[in-house]
Amino acid sequence: MAKNISEKIDTLRAQIRYHDRKYYVENMPEITDFAYDLLMKELEKYEKTSPHLITPDSPTQRVSGEPIPGFKSIEHRIPMLSIENTYSEQELREYDTRIRRMLKCEDPIEYVAELKIDGVAVTLWYQNGIFTQGATRGDGLRGDNITANLRTIKDIPLRFSCADNHAPPLLEIRGEIYLPNSDFQRLNQLREEEGKVRFANPRNAAAGSLKLLDPSMTAKRPLRLFAYAVGYYEGKTLVNHANCLKTIKEFGLPVNPHYQICRNMDEVVLYCNGWELKRDQLDYEVDGIVVKVNSLELQKELGATSKAPRWIVSYKYCPEEAVTKIESIRVQVGKTGTLTPVAKLQSVVLSGTTVSRATLHNFDEIERKDIRIGDVVVVQKAGEIIPQVVRVVQGNRTGEEKPCIPPVTCPACNDTVVKEDVYLRCYNPFCPAQVKRKIEYFASRKAMDIEGLGPALIEQLVDKNLIEDYADIYSLQLDDLASLDRVGEKSAQNLLNAIEKSKKRDLCNLICALGIMHVGSHAAEILAKRFNTLEKLTSATVEELEGIHAIGTIMARSIIAFFSNSQTKEIIGKLQTAGVNRKALDIDESAASPIKGKTFVLTGVLNKYSRKEVEGLIKRKGGKVTSSVSSKTDYLIVGDTPGSKLEKAKELGIAILGEGEFEKLL
């Protein structure tokens, strides 16, 4: 029996590692996420019954251990040197001439050209194919031991995917941890919704994520790895760098697929020029090309200076930056009262688009970068659409530049502002700027989607005292709208129709539209699914809210504070009187749902929903829930510890859904 379990565990681990490799290294998944989750769950189940069989390299052991007070510093066995940089074709050719002279080599040198990923360098140690330790570069001689955090990154195999007897006794692999641009944007959006400071660029976000003291927090950041070199190694015969990359890949670590063996420096130059523009199409930041002498023998012969190996050189791309002047700095008041300084720039072309504004984020940032009105500055797009000011060109200062003093009162209402962390905030609920931003947000596409109700009209409506808050939109009359500048009778009627139509929007849109601090569209969807009606959400307790996955303490408290506010109560009363929908949409309104007309069966325990909730959701979307699996069943929803229904569904070839997949279907 015990032997059986041990064999079963080995098989499951091998299967999981195989699929990890297919997914992360080869980009060719063979099974669905759900089937993968099932394998993982099964392994967890066996390991729970036989904890003595748990090994640190088991796929279940990625996140383990408690938060730590700080990182231990460790010495690198081989120093992690830096790279000599070049910035032009000529410098690259000079490098080639120099090393050929050193090597007394008449023939062209073979190089490997690789993309230079703009992330964080790490070293990974594998003992007999098992990941044992990982560290940051640090000062090149000593780095931080970040093993626990690195273990959470799925790209890093905890064990090599080759046969055990092929794993070298000791191997050090070096690579770059990065955060894809798309994930970086999502992360920043989320941080903004949660009132946290945004990361300046994907590299900072990756570095910050690697240095979190709680590995379970790092696990939530979608960090990735490209391995690019073998450091220290024992027991493996390697002849050239391309061979090293191939070996690294065979062991199961992802290697960037775009490397190229170049027969001479001409080919390297072509490679560098080719990627200068193409790099924009990648979902990660590439700040140059790394050129490496392919032969390990020649590498050895060339050796290193105290700073960098002589066999490696980088060709740096100019960052996509532009130089322009700050004409003025305006302070914008957001819908929750945050004061954001925004620079008005002399228009300039950057990465193919004309930009005339840059966000300065907050006043601490202005002070840190010593940005003044009239300064000549370098602007850059860093993985996002709105550019930022990177630095001031100090040499251009004339002495005429004016410092930007943080306001002590709100520019819109004159109320005293309060500093909270790095942000200045206006807490006046009647502040006209906040009122206008809240109404704009209420009418925006992801909220109530009122077509035609944009900032210019809202400005007039508030300034003319026609509305005081977003609920007043619903008592507007044709005459009110027609009295506005640039609004004819026809467009006034269209606007009224759009306002009327918005009354039927789903509960998640309404929750989002309310503009509760820290609650964005994603959280609104979760809340709508959980509570079904606005009234139920209004009376939710902190404990109930905190119990929901993805709703943290800050958000829960903000929701409670919002609904207990007397002004909110008045506004919700007005929405109710106007007949605005406050329920999650029911069957009739969810016409095109893939759930409509389908029969579902549930088995096992779900994590996010109770059985009743799932049944409610399916019914509202026009589906049916039955208790046993038959040929009439369309979907089986599977939770933890599923029963015999799972086997039966497999036999009948019925589609099986995990909780996540069910949510997607919703």
Give Cβ neighbours of residue 485 (< 8 Å, ≥ 6 apart).
460
From the number of C-beta atoms within 10 Å of its C-beta (0-12, 13-18, 19+), residue 113 rates as buried
Binding to ligand IVH, residues 395-454 (CB under 6 A): none
3-state secondary structure 593-639: CCCCCCEEEEECECCCCCHHHHHHHHHHCCCEECCCCCCCCCEEEEC
- The span of 111-119, 317-325, 338-346, 433-441 binding ligand IVH (CB under 6 A) equals 111-119
One residue of 312, 350, 431, 439 binding ligand IVH per CB under 6 A: 312
Catalytic: which of 3, 8, 104, 116?
116
381 catalytically annotated: no
Pick the closer one to ligand IVH by CB: 223 or 312: 312
State both tokens at 166.
């092929």
159-166 — which CB contacts under 8 Å span 24+ positions?
159/17, 159/57, 159/129, 159/130, 159/131, 160/126, 160/129, 160/130, 160/251, 160/252, 161/17, 161/18, 161/20, 161/21, 161/250, 161/251, 161/252, 162/129, 162/250, 162/251, 162/252, 164/128, 164/129, 166/129
Nearest to 253 by CA among 171, 190, 335, 148: 171
For position 510 contacting ligand IVH by CB under 6 A, the verdict is: no
CA pair distance 200, 44, nearest whole angstrom? 38
Smallest gap from residue 243 Cβ to ligand IVH (A): 15
| Three-class secondary structure of residue 173 per DSSP | strand
Binding to ligand IVH, residues 120-139 (CB under 6 A): 121, 137
For position 199 contacting ligand IVH by CB under 6 A, the verdict is: no
Binding to ligand IVH, residues 278-297 (CB under 6 A): 290
In the numeric block, the tokens 């000062």 are attached to: 139
- The span of 77-85, 247-255, 418-426, 548-556 binding ligand IVH (CB under 6 A) equals 77-85
Identity of residue 461:
L
Smallest gap from residue 248 Cβ to ligand IVH (A): 12
- The span of 19-27, 80-88, 357-365, 416-424 binding ligand IVH (CB under 6 A) equals 80-88
- Closest residue to ligand IVH in the complex (CB): 121
- The span of 113-121, 359-367, 398-406, 636-644 binding ligand IVH (CB under 6 A) equals 113-121
For position 260 contacting ligand IVH by CB under 6 A, the verdict is: no
One residue of 117, 135, 206, 595 binding ligand IVH per CB under 6 A: 117
For position 545 contacting ligand IVH by CB under 6 A, the verdict is: no
Backbone angles phi, psi at 586, to 5 degrees: -100, -175
Binding to ligand IVH, residues 19-58 (CB under 6 A): none
For position 204 contacting ligand IVH by CB under 6 A, the verdict is: no
- The span of 188-196, 200-208, 307-315, 494-502 binding ligand IVH (CB under 6 A) equals 307-315
The number of C-alpha atoms within 13 Å of 364 and in the hemisphere containing its C-beta is: 7
- The span of 49-57, 81-89, 217-225, 470-478 binding ligand IVH (CB under 6 A) equals 81-89
For position 381 contacting ligand IVH by CB under 6 A, the verdict is: no
Binding to ligand IVH, residues 313-342 (CB under 6 A): 314
One residue of 228, 271, 470, 662 binding ligand IVH per CB under 6 A: 228
For position 224 contacting ligand IVH by CB under 6 A, the verdict is: no
Pick the closer one to ligand IVH by CB: 75 or 647: 75
Q: Are residues 325 and 376 in contact, defined by beta-carbon separation less than 8 angstroms? A: yes
Smallest gap from residue 121 Cβ to ligand IVH (A): 3
One residue of 83, 302, 498, 587 binding ligand IVH per CB under 6 A: 83
For position 358 contacting ligand IVH by CB under 6 A, the verdict is: no
Q: Where are the alpha helices (DSSP H) in 534-602?
A: 534-538, 542-546, 553-564, 566-578
Pick the closer one to ligand IVH by CB: 278 or 368: 278
For position 221 contacting ligand IVH by CB under 6 A, the verdict is: no
| Three-class secondary structure of residue 646 per DSSP | helix
Helix (H) / strand (E) containing 126: strand 120-127
> What is the set of active-site residues?
116
Task: List interacting residues with ligand IVH (CB under 6 A).
Answer: 81-83, 114, 116-117, 121, 137, 176, 228-229, 290, 309, 312, 314
